[in-house]
Amino acid sequence: MAKVLVLYYSMYGHVERIAQALAEGARGAGAEAAIKRVAELVPPEVLAKSGAKTDQAAPFADPQELDQYDAVIVGSPTRYGRMAAQMAQFWDQTGGLWARNALVGKVGSAFTSTASQHGGQETTLMAIHTMLLHHGMVLVGLPYAAKGQMRLDEITGGSPYGATTIAGGKGERQPSGNELELARFQGRHVAEIAAKLAATGG
Ligand SMILES: Cc1cc2nc3c(=O)[nH]c(=O)nc-3n(C[C@H](O)[C@H](O)[C@H](O)COP(=O)(O)O)c2cc1C
């Protein structure tokens, strides 16, 4: 059974919801899936003023635990077309893992949320991919076999690089059924590939 970590940062809950769907998908493929988040860097009074969702059930991850998983799926809201500082700061503490090649050959995957439809989802996903490649991870995206990403009858996230959602300028839009289904597909796909790699000792 593959061990999958869905590792996320979410200020307003959109990325958190996609993280849950990814874990559901991974569990559906027989994996053991944990959902954890990274530490907040914004002061509590600023968070309160900005209406942040502070009640998130996921425990905080320790950067040193990443080598315990067969796959790590990394999600961050898009900030100026790249990942949030909270997520980058977490990975900036993984130099020791990098130095001993601890994540080489494990599966890495990415997901994100933007306010606007064309607000930089792919650049964020690929920035996460770059980071995962530096660790020697094997990238898994969201194949077009997940047909929901071709939909044109409604506004939808989802790209071959990973699951996404569109939150709206005030965070008023929640992940749609289609976006959650795409995230479940990605979670299943990651778990299946991680299980195959683990079975071959990869
Ligand atoms: C500093 C900052 C920069 C942002 N940059 C972008 C951006 O480049 N493109 C975009 O569409 N949304 C941008 N947003 C909106 C966030 O992506 C949005 O709040 C997030 O996707 C919601 O996800 P969450 O609920 O998981 O926090 C930005 C938000 C902040 C606070």
Here the CATH number for the domain that contains residue 158 is: 3.40.50.360
pLDDT tens, residue by residue, 115-162? 999 999 999 999 999 999 999 999 999 999 999 999 999 999 999 999
Tell me the percentage of the chain whose pLDDT exceeds 70.
100
8 Å CB contact between 40 and 16: no
> CA-CA distance, 186 to 195, in Å (whole number)?
14
pLDDT mean over 57-68? 98
DSSP state of 168: -
Q: Tell how strand 82-83 and strand 71-79 pair up.
A: antiparallel
Q: Distance, CA 29 to ligand 1 centroid (Å)?
A: 31
pLDDT tens, residue by residue, 19-47? 999 999 999 999 999 999 999 999 999 99
Number of domains in the chain: 1
Three-class SS of residue 179?
A: helix
Residue to mutate (ligand 1; options 7, 8, 11, 128; most atoms within 8 A of CB): 11
Residue whose CA is at the smallest distance from ligand 1 atom 17: 114
* pLDDT of 10 above 70: yes
pLDDT at 202: 57
pLDDT tens, residue by residue, 151-168? 999 999 999 999 999 999
Backbone phi and psi for residue 39, each to the nearest 5 degrees, phi listed first:
-65, 145
pLDDT at 201: 74
Domain that holds residue 171: 3-199
> In angstroms, what CA-CA distances link 114 with 108, 134, 146?
21, 25, 21
Q: Distance, CA 77 to ligand 1 centroid (Å)?
A: 6
* E strands, 95-180, in order: 107-114, 138-139, 163-166
Predicted ipTM?
Answer: 0.99
